[in-house]
Structure 1
């Protein structure tokens, strides 16, 4: 990568699909060479409820104005259409990252379809993936009263909003697969209630009381990202308030996913693997995550994750070496190897954020609550630093000029 430093902000927005003049102010650093102009960055801009496709110079090449509040994730598909999470104005559960509406927008900006997963009992939130079979998969909060939660051995004096994962056919709105965290919990505070057991002896279960004493609302888990490995039928979830990544066996049937048997691993919907914070199940091993966003599965099989607060007001991007099939053993160090990481005194975002691997081997980091993009080489050198004019960036994805999605936009 030819070194380029830009310490400036994007200025102005453009009309849909039009190009602009260079929006950069004078660089504070010398530009040694012009970077690859065929590399593009897709930014989910929460501040303005838009998405922007820009190049290294900051030129806006394409713009999506959603005319609705962005509920975080955007997906640019191979035909130039975009799948986006939007906020339901009448959502019942409205923690940070809530959505409730999914819209597929064609390349010509017409709406292909729109579906809702929002009611008084549940709200979709944060992330969505468009699968090869045309289904969509996303996390959703559920509503559980304090009394109902206490009956399950939850120790908090507040109602609970546990997580679920929903796979839906958006054309028929049929739920074809689902998983509910409360089907897979363990608790060790009340032996008169269900799910009682020793946390350390149940690594495949979720300790529902892991952090209830430090929280004041029912969003105890806060799944903020998911990635489905369709080849191995494994679902990865970043669980922010547990500071770890959970792995589910997606090969289970709907019925099996509510039990602890069935599927390729024979464990039903229990966790088949977890990593980043072994404290959550009273296990040994080094914690490598403190809050976390975006479980980005790479073509190599490794995974990038953005650890928001590992060093106290300092973030880190971590690359894990993953080796399925997985096995969780109580009392054994189950943590994967960390094969690469990057941090910097100036890298910090308490939430949001992402990291993706580029064709040149560098890593593109989006510092979500600062609006800064970092391109970092394998040896930790910062090759590009760009301060955008977008105060809150959910994620930034990298595309190239030969990608079918870019070709379909025809800008």
Structure 2
């Protein structure tokens, strides 16, 4: 189904960062690689629904998670089956964990990390603060774990929010959220030293996990993040995050979402983007962002299926409204896209496979 202004509606060739954009519309079984004009240059048929996105590895292969039908807990953004596919769609690696959800990454050493649900012990679940009273899962409360596996699927490192963090009283669940999970990890981003940046939606919390101590060495727990997604570390050392705005101070009528760049030394915002007017940029769930080689920022406004690129001055220099509508998306409206990435034509992911994306 096509909507007015579907496809690429803005493309300033002199200011946009040229490349191929990869995305996987929720509710479809096709991962797409799109040029700057909105043409699909390459695609992969996945044989299942997204769980929840896909991205390219430096060897040109695709890493993705597919939603499985086992152990559906009624919690959003389930995956379950992670696959690596070559350019022609052949599976060259796979791993199944039916409790895997949201995010996964391939590490430089060839290992793979991901987040998963694990039912919390009753005594620890009873101590979880916040949320709506009586709104637990029928099983109790599910906690988040980070798992790192080798190429054969052996667990080489693991971390649990429920058992490794010593004081959970500091991180209450948002008072108007359910208590089914603590705390809805939606991003796991590898950083230097084997540490991880992680985002917990239910608590408006982003943090850095120390690999050795398994404690947070940096954190920001702030309602202004508004159930954020896609936290990442920039080359400058600053933190970039998609602040959805839901249930936060900015999410009154017509307040919208924001992109924040944060100095972790002070937790001060050093750059931000919002819509003009604010309500023109608004996705209260999913979504993501990526800094381009020219320092522009590519944004996935997930709910609406809108992908766009802005300069640091806030000018929109490329805009794409997804025409791909799927009525059976598992947890979001049919045009929604969880996350996207862009790769330059001369990048390791693309070079020699496709030509000029303009």
TM-score by length of 2: 0.83
| Secondary structure at the counterpart of residue 313 of structure 2 | coil
Give unpaired runs (5+ residues) of structure 2.
325-334
| 1: CA distance, partners of 2:60 / 2:234 | 22
Q: CA deviation at 1:182?
A: 1.4
For the aligned residue pairs, the C-alpha RMSD in angstroms reads 2.5
1:140 is aligned to 2:140: no
Match of 1:116 in 2: 96
Q: CA deviation at 1:136?
A: 0.5
1:347 is aligned to 2:281: yes
1:128 is aligned to 2:107: no
1:36–1:55 distance in 2 versus 1, CA, 3 Å: farther
| 2: CA distance, partners of 1:317 / 1:53 | 24
| Secondary structure at the counterpart of residue 359 of structure 1 | coil
Q: CA deviation at 1:144?
A: 3.2
| Secondary structure at the counterpart of residue 406 of structure 1 | coil
1:357–1:146 distance in 2 versus 1, CA, 3 Å: same
1:386–1:65 distance in 2 versus 1, CA, 3 Å: same
Which of 312, 315, 319 does residue 385 from structure 1 map onto?
Answer: 319
| 2: CA distance, partners of 1:33 / 1:409 | 22
| 2: CA distance, partners of 1:301 / 1:342 | 19
Match of 1:260 in 2: none
Which of 225, 229, 243 does residue 307 from structure 1 map onto?
Answer: 243
Contact 1:238 1:294 in 2 (8 A): yes
Which of 136, 144, 168 does residue 163 from structure 1 map onto?
Answer: 144
Give unpaired runs (5+ residues) of structure 1.
1-6, 11-23, 187-204, 253-267, 278-286, 324-334
| Secondary structure at the counterpart of residue 317 of structure 1 | strand
1:301–1:35 distance in 2 versus 1, CA, 3 Å: closer
| Secondary structure at the counterpart of residue 304 of structure 2 | coil
State the Cα deviation string for residues 162-201 of structure 1 (Å, max 9, x = none). Answer: 11100011x3211000001111456xxxxxxxxxxxxxxx
1:405 is aligned to 2:352: no
Q: CA deviation at 1:355?
A: 0.9
| Secondary structure at the counterpart of residue 109 of structure 2 | coil
Q: CA deviation at 1:54?
A: 1.0
1:34–1:62 distance in 2 versus 1, CA, 3 Å: farther
| Secondary structure at the counterpart of residue 125 of structure 1 | strand
| 2: CA distance, partners of 1:58 / 1:34 | 17
The structure whose RCO (Cα within 8 Å, separation 6+) is larger is 2
| 2: CA distance, partners of 1:407 / 1:89 | 36
1:37–1:232 distance in 2 versus 1, CA, 3 Å: closer
**What does residue range 187-202 of structure 1 map to in structure 2 within 5 Å?**
none
| 2: CA distance, partners of 1:234 / 1:367 | 28
1:222 is aligned to 2:153: no
TM-score by length of 1: 0.73
1:90 is aligned to 2:70: yes
